[in-house]
Structure 1
């Protein structure tokens, strides 16, 4: 079963209605972003600036602090499980509030 060369690359002929449809598309002028800036209100600029500041606060302060806190928590849990497995000891936290507070203070110590 072979196809002839002319049959494999046949392009459909464009009808006159397709050409009319393409020609009737509205033309849009290209505008630069500088033109858009003059229409942006002061409130919009302040909103964008506050969003940028909130994003910076989140990425530079909150995420590293939370990651460090939960990383220490995971490390303490993993170390306790390892010690219980390796040696016959039982790890007991007598005051969970103090343990959590100390973890929060340690996480914030180097920030």
Structure 2
């Protein structure tokens, strides 16, 4: 038994290679009219704009806001555990508003 015999694969019939599924391609010939092509192009542009809005504005803002919130929470837990200091937020709504304003200040 040689090395090439141990790794041999059976030959597949030629008909199996013809039946491989693939993604449909979008081209101008697949649309019935120029209006359909324009609508598809506008749809793709609007999706790209939404993606940019999400990745450039919303995700960084949410990350900064929740990151600061977690930092304050973990700092309070550390101070209570290590130094026996009780941390209380007296006005939670103003604390949340200040956190949102700080997160938006550098964007």
TM over 0.5: yes
Tell me the secondary structure at the aligned position of residue 43 of structure 1. Answer: helix
Q: CA RMSD in A?
A: 2.9
Instruction: Give the TM-score normalised by the residue count of structure 1.
Output: 0.69
Corresponding residue to 1:36 among 14, 27, 32: 27
Higher relative contact order (CA 8 A, sep 6+): 1
Q: Which residue of 2 aligns with 1:95?
A: 91
- Runs of 4+ displaced beyond 3 Å: 8-14, 37-40
Instruction: Give the TM-score normalised by the residue count of structure 2.
Output: 0.71
Of 50-59 and 35-44, more deviation after overlay is shown by 35-44
What runs of 5+ residues in structure 2 fail to find an aligned partner?
20-24
Corresponding residue to 2:66 among 58, 62, 70: 70
Number of aligned residue pairs: give it: 93
